[in-house]
Chains A and B, each alone.
Chain A
Amino acid sequence: MDERRRLNDEPGRLAALRRAGILDTPPEEPFERITELVRSVLGVPIATVSLVDEERQWLKSSVGLTITETPRDLSFCTHTIKTREPLIVPDARLDTRFRDFPYVIGEPGVRSYLGLPLETPDGYNLGALCAIDTVPRDFTTTEAAIMKNFSRLVMNELELRQIAMSDSLTGAMTRRGWMEAVETQIARCRRNGQASSIVLLDVDHFKRINDGHGHAAGDRILRGVAQACFANLRDADLFARIGGEEFAIFLPMTDAAHAAALAERLREQISLTPYDLDGAAVRITASFGITQVRADVEGVEAGLKIADAMLYRAKLDGRNVCRVA
């Protein structure tokens, strides 16, 4: 996908934001330190690390502000993320895009703004690093260059976390990263009155493959299963390897029936894919446990427990089947 298309790919951008697993998380030292540096180096009263969600701007870190979010249509940053360049607003009261914003007219009296997009390595702008003043100000290109480097520091921190949250064999998320990201997503789906579901899958008789063909063959099978999952999932779905041969999928905005349909597609595709192991075409199967995350169930642990019970039932029922709670 070229640069411009990625800038306009809002579903892809939101999915990248979800994968970062940072929305609605508590304040953290690395980001606090950067906003403090922005404040002191640029001599501004307000600095923020802002993430632009579907309908809101959420502040991962801020100095000089007490709010943690604003509606997206009342944010400077929703404009910043539309380009790869700094957004400089010398006087918000003279800018038709911003002059009627409540925090420009009233407290804290925002007058000038310098925002740098927070860009992922694959070209999605998750939000912006912002320096904000309460007097009109022409931010210089030198100041924009400093901010650019601070924004790169923010993203390198996030990328380091992404590496830690990613399974080196399959490219799926790790259990820890998935649990954290899903917890946030379940809360979000609940807030929005949307259904969400969890699918667990476990490769059948995986030990036999490892014992019979060696660990390299086992690794190939795991990579193949992960690829089949990636190929069938949407950008917003969260996919993890949570155990040796066990994978978990979180499906936002998906009820049990649709989750079961996806699981059935995956089950069939996995069972029909041959692997050349020691010159023989070997087929494998997987068992699936599915649950919709119910409103009365607290959090990801509880949802995972129900999906796991369904997976156990699928194993008891002869494997290579899907079972739905």
Chain B
Amino acid sequence: MSHLDQGKTVERAMQPIADLDVPKRLRASVDKQNQILLDLAISLVQAGLPEDQVRSIIDAACASYRDELVSTIPAIRAQDG
């Protein structure tokens, strides 16, 4: 799996988040999540895991954050008026 492929795997996992209108206060957190997932993909590849398994792990790792983000956005919007 090339570095480009790792990036694409992360991009695909993060796609539902990219479609969200993320408030400014949360953007740094989303960027950080992106970077962590990329680093995780790299470390999994370095450990010799097959590509489809790396994809499935990244998808699973991203899913919980995505759910948390979706529930956080309305709370932030309510605060920011």
Contact = CB atoms under 8 A, between A and B. Distances in A.
A164 interface: yes
A10 interface: no
Contacts of A152: 36, 39
Contacts of B40: 146, 149-150, 153
B2 interface: no
Given A160-B29, A160-B68, A176-B75, A146 B43 contact: yes
Given A30-B64, A146-B40, A163-B25, A174 B57 contact: no
Contact of A30 (B29, B44, B67, B75): B67
A29 B26 contact: no
**Is the interface on chain A under 10, 10 to 19, 20 to 34, or 35 or more residues?**
20 to 34
B68 A161 contact: yes
Contacts of A29: 64, 67
B1 to A, nearest CB: 15
Contact of A33 (B29, B44, B61): B61
B36 A168 contact: no
B47 interface: yes
Given A160-B65, A160-B68, A143 B47 contact: yes
B20 interface: no
B76 interface: yes
Given A29-B67, A163-B76, A153 B43 contact: no
B79 A163 contact: no
A41 B44 contact: yes
Contact of B72 (A142, A143, A156, A160): A160
Contact of A156 (B29, B46, B57, B76): B29
Interface of B: 25-26, 29, 32-33, 36-37, 39-40, 43-44, 46-47, 49, 57, 60-61, 63-65, 67-69, 72, 75-76, 79-80
Interface of A: 29-30, 33-34, 37, 41, 142-143, 145-146, 148-150, 152-153, 156-157, 159-161, 163-164, 167-168, 174, 176
9 contacts: A30-B65, A30-B67, A34-B64, A146-B40, A150-B40, A152-B36, A157-B64, A157-B65, A176-B75
